[in-house]
Every structure is written in C-alpha cells, then in structure tokens.
Structure 1
Amino acid sequence: MRQLIEHIPELIDDMATGSDGPVAIAVSGGSDSLGLMLLAHRWASARSRKLVVLTVDHRMRAESAAEADHVCKLANELGLEARLLACAVPPTSQSEARQARHRLLATAAREAGAGLLFIGHTRSDVEETFLMRLRRGSSLTRAAAPSPLSVSPVWPEGRGLTLARPLLGHRRSEIQSWLTENKIVWFTDPSNDSVSYERGRVRRDLRSLTSRHALANIIDDAAVLRALEDRKLADDIRRHVAVDAAGLVQIQSMPERQSSVLRLVSTVVLAASGGDTPVEQSKLVAALAEFDAMATGHRFTLGGAWLQKTSGGLLIGRDPGAVQARWSDGLWDGRYVMEDGTGLPPDTAPYLVRHAVPTEGNWREVISGRLHHLAAMLERSAKMQSALQA
C-alpha cells in the first residue's frame, strides 16, 4: 500500500497542473471516495492548496442523510471545508441520480471557486463500465471509460469544470485494504451490489470470472485506442472548427475517416445547441449518410441545431425553434454570457443567428471556450492514459 500513498499525490500534481485556487472533491462515504479524500488531503496539505469536500444526499435511502452528515464531520475533523448537497426531489433511477449529482457538484464547485473536481472512480469502475457499455452495443473504444480527465457532463452548471480521477490505476479492493490497515471505516450502499441494477449484476459477473487477466488486457488495449481517438478529436476541433464572434460555428473541412466525422459533428452540434444532451447516434448517422449527395446550401436540423452544407464542410447554428430564451447559471440558452461594454449588441448579429441570440444587452459567445476546454482535456487525458499504460 506504500505505492498508493506515494503514487497518488504525484498523479494529483499532474492532474492539477494549470489549476489555481480551491480544489473540490466528491465524497460519498464509500471506500473509493473516502480513500481519495484522505490521500487528497495529504496532497493539499503538503502544497498549501484548499480542498473543499462535497457530499450529496440523493434522498433515495433512509440512511443517506446521516451518511452525508458523517462525511462532513470527518472532513471537518481533518480541517477541511465540507458542503452537504441534497436533491430537492429524490431521483427515481440510477441515471437520474447521476445527472442530479453532477449538477449539484458542478454548481457547488463553481460557487467554491474550484475549476477542478476530484472523483473517486477506480479500476474496478473501469471494468464494470466496460462490460456495461459493451452489453449496450457500444464500440470497444467508447466502452473504455471513464478517462483520467474529462469535462463535466452537465451544462451550463459544469462550464469550465474539469473532472479528475486519480484512482483509475487501482482496484477498489486495494483502496479498502489501505483503509482497513489504517482502521478507517467506510459506508456500503446496498444498491451498488443489488442485482436489481445493471451495475450490481455486472459486479456479480465479474466476481465469477475465473481469470481477470484477459479482461484487463482487453480493457488496456481499448484504452490505448480510446486515447488515440481522443487526441484525434482534439486535433480535429483545433484544425477544422471556427466560431465567429456571434456564435456561428463552421466546420471548415471534414476529417477523412467517417468515424472521426461522426464524433466531430456530434461534439460541435452539442456545443452549438447550448445543452448537455448528445445528439442521438442513429439520427446523426442517418443524416450524414447522405452528406456527400447533398447539394451545397442544403440545411437540416439535428440535436437542437441547424446544419448547412458548405463547399468544404458545414455551418452550424442554434435551431431557433429550440432556443431557451432565458438566462440560466449566468448563460443565455447555454451559449452567451453578458459582456457589458465589450460584448456585441443584439442588432449587430448576422442574419444566420439573429433569431437565436439575446435581444437585450451586450453579450459574448462561450461556444468557442467550451470547445477549447474539451480539446485541452481530451489531449491531456490521452497523454495521461498513455503514461498509465506504459
């Protein structure tokens, strides 16, 4: 376990590069996040960094409030600031709980001034997620998740927030052994192992495997390929995508590989829509299957955006019929921020975006910043993944 103690702070250092100010950490009270809190506390203390503990009460179990309160007390005993976050309405499913949790965590992290949020995902989570996604028909590389670094999956609450996972190289059993050696008790959520849920069934199946070595090799190979794809997407965003001052997006030329085209267009459409719900893959594939045969100027809608074929690529803007014409978490329709004095006034917006911009005050687009942050995290995470595989 000595390797764990010595290795994690060094990895956290790498992940925190370029991040100033407070750092947030999500702690549920389970073994993974509790172990990460203790290790991150050692790192923060040695480097005089402020660590803010965030714990979420989903209100899905009777014990959850007491567990969240206990996490706050443990954090306070370490001299850490802790914030208890509670769902206003208890989620009705695991996916709904995940979405609610990320919104609460992202909001609290930004309120604390943190641009970096530590998450206690382990190698065990990687194995479970890999099998779950394969069962759903995901590609091999898409199943290799989560990544060492990523952007927040929620928008606009997660604007500018990076998620970091320092424990991906260690299985849950290693963390639990380290906690046991240090006489630290953790909570166990019975739903995590319940066969009523998909993850519980996958955990049961993993325990019955006669050899985990073959699975580990497959996941490692898939992760390497995923890192290559992520580097390619980051490069495609930088090389092919431009956003003008009014928020009109242009893919100036298309990548050569069809898989790269699909991922690039999906990524840009999501940013141009101002939301956090990715376009349905089947709809994207169907729309782009006829791309070569489309006439220049042909326009279609997809995922809350309109797309228009140009001589070399695509123009992409917000579908006016899908606009949420209001300010939320400091953004208008997830695409513009108020910029008094230096921003664009409404009457200067070009025709193609005129019906999908704020009608009052000066504003600035945030689509380019969103894409830049994503590209930077994809590249950094890919490098980190390669180092983990070495």
Structure 2
Amino acid sequence: MAAGTNGPVAIAVSGGSDSLVLMLLAKAWSRRSGRNLIVLTVDHGLRPEAREEAEWVTAKAASLGLSARGLTWTPDKRSQDAARQGRHSLLAAAAREAGAGLLLLGHTRTDVEETLLMRLARPTTLASAVGPQPVSVSPVWPEGRDILLGRPLIAVRRGHLMEMLAERGESWVRDPSNESDAYERVRMRKLAGQLDAARLSRITDDAMRLRAVEDIQLADMLSAFVRIDPAGLVELQMDRLAGSLRLRARLLSILLQTAAGSDSPVAPQPLLALASDLASGGPKSRLTLGGAWLQRRGGTLMIGRDPGEVCAGWQDGIWDGRYRRAAPGGADVEESPFLVRHGMPDDPYEEILTGRLVLWEKALRLGARLGVELAGSGAQTLSPVATTRPG
C-alpha cells in the first residue's frame, strides 16, 4: 500500500484492539522498510474518557519509539456521524501537514461483513454493499486532498486481533458504544454471530470480486472519458460510455463532487435518474444537482459549479475546494467556460480537480487489485511473530 507514496506513513490509532495491532505491525514494518511513521489519535469528546484514551495512545506510541500527535475535535454538534467527519478532517490535515500521502486505518474483515449486512438490509446490489475498501480516497474534501487511506488489516477478523493482544498481555481501549443495541452496526454484529460463518464469508468474497470489477470499469471511465478544462470545467464524453446505469451513477457521483469541490455525495435516486436521462439523450436543458451545473452539448456532458453554492474565499490556500493559489498570469476569468465563469476566484489560480480525479482513479485500481487478492484468500490470520515486542 505504501508503494508510490512519499514521506512518512500516518496511522490513525484510537486505542481499540484493531488500531493497536495496526500500530504494532506498522512499527515492525517500519523497522524493515526504513519508512518513518507518525501516529495520530483524536480526542472526539463524545465520552468523558476520550481525552484520557487519546493520552494513553500517545504514551503507548512513545513507548514504542514512535512519533505521535494528539488531535482534539471541537464539534458544533455531537453525534457519531459528525464525529466521524470531524475525525477524518483532523486526521487528513495532520497527515498532510506531516508530509504523509498515506493514512492507515484499522478496519478489519469483521467491519466488511458487518457493512455488507447493513447495506443489504436496504435496496442495493451485492457489489454496492461492499465496504470499506482496502484502499480509498479520504471522505473529506479539501482536507483529504493528496491523501490515500489504506486498511492493511481488512482481511483479518477482529476476534483474531483480540486473541493476539491477549496472548501478548496487551490491554486496549474498550468503547461501550460497541455493545449498545442503539447502533445498527452492533445489531448487525450480533446477527452475524448467528449466521453460518462460512456462507457469510463466501458471500463477502463474491461481493468483493464484483466490486473490484466495477471499480476497474469506473477507473477506466475516469481515464478514458473525462477531461478537465484549465478553468475547472468537467467534460464527460458519453459517445462510447458503457456500463450499467448504477455504474454510470457512481461515475456521475464522483464528477459532481469534483466539479462542486464537495465531499457530499448526491443521493442514489437522483443519480440513477440522471444516468437514465443521459442514456436517453438528455438532459434537454441546463440543470442543477449536488452544487453543480450540468449541460449537455452533443455527446459531451459539461459539469461546472453552481454559482449560488460557491464558498468564496481562500482557506488554507484553497478556494471553494476547486482551486489553489498560483503565480500571476493565465487566462482571464471572462474567457472561461460559462458553467464555471461565475464561480471562480479573482486571484491567480490553478484547478485541483485533475489531481483529485487522478487520486480517485489510483485508489479504485489499487483497491480493486487488493480486493481480488483478499477475496481469493478469505479471512486471514496473522503470524504472532509480526507483533513481537521491539527489542
């Protein structure tokens, strides 16, 4: 996973069993590879113990000789969804500040199977029910720009990790919310324990293979049919575009988020409706969706920014999630395509949409390749040697 990335490798550690094993394994890998590590932990403030747990993680990392940084989330509202978004924003910003292009997370095979059951409880396809992927882009933007997320433990079940830690005499943070039936994931975890484990594993493997096929097709679409104008206009060539409506909807989701400088996906039904309309020769006129303007011209779908949704102003060198500062010079705003002309900075800029799509394509291809490899091997175990205490 670290191949092709520069700088240190960042690790998100909450102190739970999964991320603790990840930190121990990463330490052993770091000694062999020579790559530096930085441990990041977040005090999310959702429980009174959160600050103490974050301090415990930084102390544990220091005892292993690892650099660690504690981060504090100060929320506008307190919920698990808001905490997840806030945590990812802090982690991505800290990783980028440290010069890391890869952030490792402790998701396991158990998480994949639980997510599969959760998503299959709603209308979806088997491929769409898979998650999280071995490699993905950050779910936050623009904080997550230039950052890939890697999940080295995605083929190992959580129970095995706990057994490893117990054999080593290690303790870990236990979050009481992981036992509360108030949360859907906990209910699905209990359901999974009542199912035929071998059958669930086979279904998960099949879903991972199907998802990998879709992800490769999606990456090919991004590479072959999408162009970004220097002013930030997204152009999709639809003449030779193939694939199911659901796959095209996934492509449109990526392009809409990119054109809008957003990290908020459009709901599935409007995307499917748009994909169907495009397949029938539409849309006949300009429309607005997901903070973007869309207009068809022959076989090309042009996607720009809805000027009414623009977040004007420079923040951390980024303007509206679409541009970064540049040296003076370049094209005049008035000469830019109409669909982006009314949502551009007055200062010199460079578009960052191209880089975002390149990273998305890379994540799709790498995640698909690893997903196929892992699906062929089923749930794995780890050698105890890998977590031997450093001397």
Hey, what's the Cα distance between the residues in 2 that align with 1:29 and 1:161? Answer: 22
1:357 paired with 2:357, answer no
Q: 2:353 aligns with which of 334, 354, 367?
A: 367
1:329 paired with 2:316, answer yes
1:231 paired with 2:216, answer yes
Compute the RMSD of aligned alpha carbons.
1.6
Q: CA deviation at 1:310?
A: 1.9
Matches within 5 A, 1:70-89: 70-89=56-75
Q: Secondary structure at the match of 1:104?
A: helix
User: Relative to 1, partners in 2 of residues 1:90 and 1:365: Cα closer, same or farther, differing over 3 Å?
Assistant: closer
Which residue type is aligned with residue 177 of structure 2?
S
Higher alpha-carbon deviation: 162-171 or 96-105: 96-105
1:120-167 CA distance string (max 9 Å, x none): 000011111111111233321111111110000000000010000000
1:151 paired with 2:115, answer no
TM-score (norm 1): 0.92
Hey, what's the Cα distance between the residues in 2 that align with 1:343 and 1:166? Answer: 43
User: Relative to 1, partners in 2 of residues 1:74 and 1:341: Cα closer, same or farther, differing over 3 Å?
Assistant: same
Q: 2:292 aligns with which of 305, 318, 321?
A: 305
Q: 1:101 aligns with which of 70, 87, 94?
A: 87
1:250-292 CA distance string (max 9 Å, x none): 1012522323321211211110010100112212223343335
Q: Is the 8 A contact 1:30 1:186 kept in 2?
A: yes
Q: Secondary structure at the match of 1:200?
A: helix
Q: CA deviation at 1:341?
A: 4.0
Which residue type is aligned with residue 248 of structure 1?
L
Hey, what's the Cα distance between the residues in 2 that align with 1:296 and 1:214? Answer: 44
Q: CA deviation at 1:19?
A: 1.0
Q: 2:149 aligns with which of 163, 166, 170?
A: 163
Q: Secondary structure at the match of 2:356?
A: helix
Hey, what's the Cα distance between the residues in 2 that align with 1:187 and 1:212? Answer: 27
Q: 1:385 aligns with which of 356, 371, 383?
A: 371
Hey, what's the Cα distance between the residues in 2 that align with 1:189 and 1:53? Answer: 20
Aligned to 2:36: 50
Aligned to 2:97: 111
Aligned to 1:317: 304
Task: Please list every run of 5 or more consecutive structure 1 residues that lacks an aligned counterpart in the other structure.
Answer: 1-14
Hey, what's the Cα distance between the residues in 1 that align with 2:21 and 2:256? Answer: 38
1:216 paired with 2:201, answer yes
Q: Is the 8 A contact 1:27 1:34 kept in 2?
A: yes
Aligned to 2:251: 264
Aligned to 2:234: 249
Aligned to 2:9: 23
1:189-212 CA distance string (max 9 Å, x none): 010121011111111212223x21
Q: CA deviation at 1:342?
A: 5.9
Aligned to 1:120: 106
Aligned to 1:133: 119
Q: Is the 8 A contact 1:301 1:319 kept in 2?
A: yes
Q: Is the 8 A contact 2:235 2:300 kept in 1?
A: yes
Q: Is the 8 A contact 1:297 1:310 kept in 2?
A: no
- Tell me the matched-pair count: 374
Q: 1:34 aligns with which of 20, 28, 34?
A: 20
Hey, what's the Cα distance between the residues in 2 that align with 1:381 and 1:73? Answer: 33
Q: Secondary structure at the match of 1:150?
A: strand
Identity percentage of aligned residues: 49
TM-score (norm 2): 0.92
User: Relative to 1, partners in 2 of residues 1:191 and 1:387: Cα closer, same or farther, differing over 3 Å?
Assistant: same
Q: CA deviation at 1:100?
A: 1.1
Hey, what's the Cα distance between the residues in 2 that align with 1:285 and 1:107? Answer: 33
1:199-243 CA distance string (max 9 Å, x none): 11111212223x211111111001000000000000001111001
Q: Is the 8 A contact 1:57 1:64 kept in 2?
A: yes
Aligned to 2:269: 282
Q: Which has the higher contact order (CA 8 A, sep 6+)?
A: 2
Hey, what's the Cα distance between the residues in 2 that align with 1:292 and 1:203? Answer: 40
Higher alpha-carbon deviation: 200-209 or 273-282: 200-209
Q: Is the 8 A contact 1:119 1:165 kept in 2?
A: yes
